[in-house]
Amino acid sequence: MDKLIIRGGKPLHGTIRVSGSKNAALPILMACILPKGRIELTNVPRLADIRTTLKLLNILGCQTWFQDGTVTVQCDELNSHAPYELVKTMRASVLCLGPLLALLGEARVALPGGCAIGSRPVDLHLKGLEKMGAKFELAEGYINGTTNGLKGARIALDMPTVGGTEHLMMAAALADGETILENAAREPEVVDLANFLNACGARVTGHGTSVVRIQGVSRLKGCSYTVMPDRIEAGTYLAAAPITGGELRLENCPAAALDAVIMKMREMGVSIEPDGDSVIVKRDGELRCVDVSTTYYPGFPTDMQAQIMALMCLGKGAGMVEENIFENRFMHVMELARMGADIKLKGRTALVRGVDRLVGAPVMASDLRASASLVLAGLAAQGTTEVQRIYHLDRGYERIEEKLRAVGADIERAKE
Q: Which residues are annotated as a binding site for UDP-N-acetyl-alpha-D-glucosamine?
A: 91, 120-124, 303, 325
**Binding-site residues for phosphoenolpyruvate:** 22-23
CB atoms within 10 A of CB 159: 10
> Could you give the CA distance from residue 97 to residue 81 in angstroms, rounded to a whole number?
9
Name which of 121, 3, 11 is nearest 410 in CA terms. Answer: 11
Bridge partners for 42 per DSSP: 226
Burial letters 287-326, b for 16+ CB under 10 A, else e: bbbbebebebbeebbbbbbbbbbbbbbbbbebbebebbbb
Residues 11/408, Cβ–Cβ less than 8 Å: yes
Catalytic residue numbers read 115
Return the SS3 of 179.
strand
Binding-site annotation, residues? 22-23, 91, 120-124, 303, 325
What Cα–Cα distance (Å) separates residue 106 from each residue in 79, 102, 131, 146? 9, 8, 16, 4
- For residue 151, the SS3 value is strand
Q: Facing residues of 281 across strands?
A: 248, 272
